[in-house]
Structure 1
């Protein structure tokens, strides 16, 4: 039982780590070669209050563009290769906001050579990626939208409301009776008497589960906890945005530079 609780606590901590990673996942150009404007990513205010989700205004890999900046016919080993990335929405309009998480890399499959680029977000729909020429021969530069801005904001909104991106459940069992209720790392103070407090069992990490409506199933009859994905309430648009994360990554790879 203890291991199950620890796993849930670790998962919650992992979500916070992902958020912090995303928040600082841009290149800090104060000590390198990119413009100072590249520091900004999603602000806490944006993450906390979200945005109006309009699918047609989301970044579209088919409409987006990638091209070399200060292109040379030949690059020498160790040279810096700079790439400009401009994101466009489904209507073909240049995006005015940043926050889309991009992955950019340069490769030569025949030589089994690959190097990732460091991305700076200008917070206006444009990004710069920087590589270092690491081998002799041809190279192809590819980019794809790993996570759209709207996906990140939606995940943050879900986490703020439910305390997890997964639905946490507790199962109670006694006298051939079984019931499951929803859990959270936080409890609504106004409903304090309706929660079972399992913080102590969870090694001191906050963990609360709704009491069963079956009177015989008290907090002491808790059997185990488990998680299920997507039981929280989302509208049709939000469900569509959430599914973007599990799409074939090849669909989000856009224009290549050779």
Structure 2
């Protein structure tokens, strides 16, 4: 401003006052904006703390983990482990977020609960509600229990994992119950009455809520607690290195990410040999000393892991026949939603609640059903049992020796006269298995893409057990890839039958709980069911079939259970 302008301001006081007032207002607005920017930046910094995440293996201490809250985008964990961020569609991102929310588990109000304040099944009897009522086949009834701690005080929060069934030993009858957690220490269990007679109730505390928090910690912080190796070989030189889904970048590694699915896998680079010299995959071992402080108290087989809960009063109801209980069931066709209960045992035979199960009691009946069929069985050892059962029971289905180990495969069986071909392949990494060639572990999605399909093609698969030690996110991504391939297969060959075997329960000694707990399996099973809902596939509900049966829980169920699983499977192949 020149001198003339300045003098004119002083010559006119009113103009000067207006100018000063405007200047003051501008300065005031500027100061307020600067304060807002600082506050905004502080809020961004605070928000960024919530969006910070660390790689899965070799994580910092538990305290540092708690200081750095995790980002709530489920794909972030996958990207940290080598998945490509651009490969996720918006729908898949939303679905993953929904599924992670769906399986959230109730937490104790305090992060550290003394063992004496944890759930004690010995002090928490169940009671049958309205036990004096007259029950008929087709009715429902309910059991209630309140959980108490070791001091004999009632618990005020939920999160315990229970399994329950009703059964009549004399009839070899049984059915699984549905547990409802009120999250205040009270639990209700619903049962459907499907047969007459004296029906007994059995309830198990699989894990106390405090133990589940340990399992969650291990799943998030110690996914490397089962570790793998691969051998690299060239001529006389051989090296073996550690492998896993997500490796620390502390040393050079080989990237074996599958080109077609984007599923990552890594091995530390051999000192002398190139990455291309890798020849196999091996399950190497289990990390030990996983528990901290009092955590070991939550995994005592005779105290709080799969511990029976006793009744208060009667442990049974008497059920009368009902002329209106029966209903006409239709043939077994894919595309139906899974019901609960999915069925029940009667005289050791599984009776579905949704369709008519055929009986395949002789090799001839099975051969007639499979005549002209190409059958592909894909997955882990719990579905390999189907291949073994069929090839042992049906004499005409000859298993060929391909030089592969029984527990590894692949396997091939043929009935040339009846034009039946049956193949088994273990699913791709991660898988806990004996040494097996890389080429013999196809990803299920890739295998499905290679199958032509058609009305004579039958595909059965399962995948769950070997993901139990990992966070749930990689499992969600694996199923998304498999579903893509199924949809492509059904688009080009809609007559193809795809059958999915669900997870099954197992025995849980202390060490098994830390790597392969039923709670881990249950969470994955929930994801699997939801992922394939509304798609033209069929299910064999091995989860309920193993809970409902009278035999002890095993990872690999006895042949009578496998026979029933096979009958459900074949009822979709050859419905009534």
User: TM-score, normalised to structure 1's length?
Assistant: 0.65
**Residue aligning to 1:61:** 121
SS at match of 1:138: strand
**Residue aligning to 2:308:** 253
**Aligned match of 1:98 in 123, 138, 158?**
158
Give the deviation of 1:225 after TM superposition.
Answer: 2.3
**Residue aligning to 1:226:** 282
Asked whether the equivalents of residues 55 and 237 of structure 1 are also in contact (C-alpha less than 8 Å), the reply is no
What are the ranges of 5 or more consecutive residues in structure 1 without an aligned counterpart?
1-19, 25-40
Asked whether the equivalents of residues 205 and 305 of structure 2 are also in contact (C-alpha less than 8 Å), the reply is no
Q: Compared with structure 1, are the counterparts of its residues 76 and 200 closer, same or farther at alpha carbon in structure 2 (3 Å cutoff)? A: closer
Which one has a larger percent helix, Structure 1 or Structure 2? 2
Q: CA RMSD in A?
A: 3.8
Asked whether the equivalents of residues 162 and 184 of structure 1 are also in contact (C-alpha less than 8 Å), the reply is no
Q: Compared with structure 1, are the counterparts of its residues 250 and 129 closer, same or farther at alpha carbon in structure 2 (3 Å cutoff)? A: same
SS at match of 2:121: coil
**Residue aligning to 1:31:** none
Pairing 1:159–2:215 present: no
Pairing 1:211–2:269 present: yes
Give the deviation of 1:135 after TM superposition.
Answer: 2.9
Give the deviation of 1:187 after TM superposition.
Answer: 4.1
**Aligned match of 1:42 in 97, 105, 115?**
105
Q: Compared with structure 1, are the counterparts of its residues 53 and 166 closer, same or farther at alpha carbon in structure 2 (3 Å cutoff)? A: farther
Which string of whole-angstrom CA distances, capped at 9 and with x for unpartnered residues, describes residues 138-174 of structure 1? 2211100234434443333333234466323333445
**Residue aligning to 2:428:** none
Which string of whole-angstrom CA distances, capped at 9 and with x for unpartnered residues, describes residues 193-247 of structure 1? 63321113795211122334xx324434433222245316513558736855x77
Q: Compared with structure 1, are the counterparts of its residues 223 and 157 closer, same or farther at alpha carbon in structure 2 (3 Å cutoff)? A: farther
Give the deviation of 1:102 after TM superposition.
Answer: 0.9
SS at match of 1:78: coil
**Residue aligning to 2:148:** 88
Asked whether the equivalents of residues 208 and 304 of structure 2 are also in contact (C-alpha less than 8 Å), the reply is no
**Residue aligning to 1:4:** none
Asked whether the equivalents of residues 160 and 207 of structure 2 are also in contact (C-alpha less than 8 Å), the reply is yes
Q: Compared with structure 1, are the counterparts of its residues 55 and 197 closer, same or farther at alpha carbon in structure 2 (3 Å cutoff)? A: farther
Q: Larger Rg: 1 or 2?
A: 2
**Aligned match of 1:123 in 170, 183, 189?**
183
Q: Compared with structure 1, are the counterparts of its residues 142 and 21 closer, same or farther at alpha carbon in structure 2 (3 Å cutoff)? A: farther
What are the ranges of 5 or more consecutive residues in structure 2 without an aligned counterpart?
1-98, 317-576
Asked whether the equivalents of residues 150 and 241 of structure 1 are also in contact (C-alpha less than 8 Å), the reply is no
Question: Structure 1 stretch 220-229 or stretch 109-118: which is displaced more?
Answer: 220-229
How many residue pairs match? The answer is 214
Q: Compared with structure 1, are the counterparts of its residues 243 and 65 closer, same or farther at alpha carbon in structure 2 (3 Å cutoff)? A: closer
Pairing 1:141–2:201 present: yes
- Relative contact order, CA 8 A, sep 6+: which one is greater? 1
Asked whether the equivalents of residues 81 and 132 of structure 1 are also in contact (C-alpha less than 8 Å), the reply is yes
Q: Distance in 2 between matches of 1:103 and 1:83?
A: 12
**Residue aligning to 1:110:** 170
Q: Distance in 2 between matches of 1:243 and 1:172?
A: 39
Q: Distance in 2 between matches of 1:196 and 1:208?
A: 6
SS at match of 2:158: coil
Which string of whole-angstrom CA distances, capped at 9 and with x for unpartnered residues, describes residues 161-192 of structure 1? 344663233334454443332x332344xx27
Q: Compared with structure 1, are the counterparts of its residues 136 and 235 closer, same or farther at alpha carbon in structure 2 (3 Å cutoff)? A: closer
